Each structure stands twice: as C-alpha cells, then as structure tokens.
A = this chain, B = another copy of it.
Amino acid sequence: MSVKNVSCPVEATMEVIAGRWKILIIHQLLEDTKRFNQLQRELGGITHRTLAKQLREMEERGLIKRKDYQEIPPRVEYSLTSLGRSLERVLLAMHAWGEYYGRIASRKK
C-alpha cells in the first residue's frame, strides 16, 4: 500500500479524531458500553458540557450509539458502532508510535 495521495483520507481521519477527547472516549468505549457519569469519571478532567458536546458530535458522525432507557433517574448508555470500533487500528498504531517516541525522548534526557 502506497502513501501517494494520502492527504485526503488522512485529513478526513484527523478531522474526525481531532482534539484531545475523542480518541480517549473511543479508547474508553473499546473496553465496554458506558454511562455518561462513568465516562466523565474515567476521563478525569472533562466537564459535563464538553463531554456532552463530544459525544453528540461523535454520534452525528456515526462513531457511537446513544441508548436512553427512558428511566428516572435517567439511564443513558454509550457504545461504539462498528465504524467507531474500526478506529481501533488507528489507536493501536498511535499507541505503538507514542510508546516508541516516549522511549526515544527519555533516552535523550
């Protein structure tokens, strides 16, 4: 596989996972279906508002499914669609490179 004319698909991927949170949300949901509060807890540092916005954008793009059980108190669960799950390979490649980069960087210190 060649990387000729890679720009468009790579840019599309960059756009979909841009920012700090989406890739971490995907990582969380690769583990399991999760509720909003659980996600917020595990992504320590994200505000309610930001998490809601990120999840909405990811739902619109078809990466995640939102299931509202219509209960009181509310129970809403988030899970990956097959499209969202297919990002796992990108995550793994980024993970492998990040580890390699970390080793190089720590050797330089």
Contact = CB atoms under 8 A, between A and B. Distances in A.
B98 A10 contact: yes
Interface residues of A, number: 42
A102 B14 contact: no
A24 interface: yes
Nearest to A12: B98
B87 A1 contact: no
Contacts of A87: 97
Given A9-B95, A90-B93, A96-B89, A101 B16 contact: yes
| 10 residue pairs, one from A and one from B, having the closest CB atoms | A9-B98, A93-B93, A13-B94, A12-B98, A13-B98, A90-B93, A9-B99, A10-B94, A6-B95, A9-B95
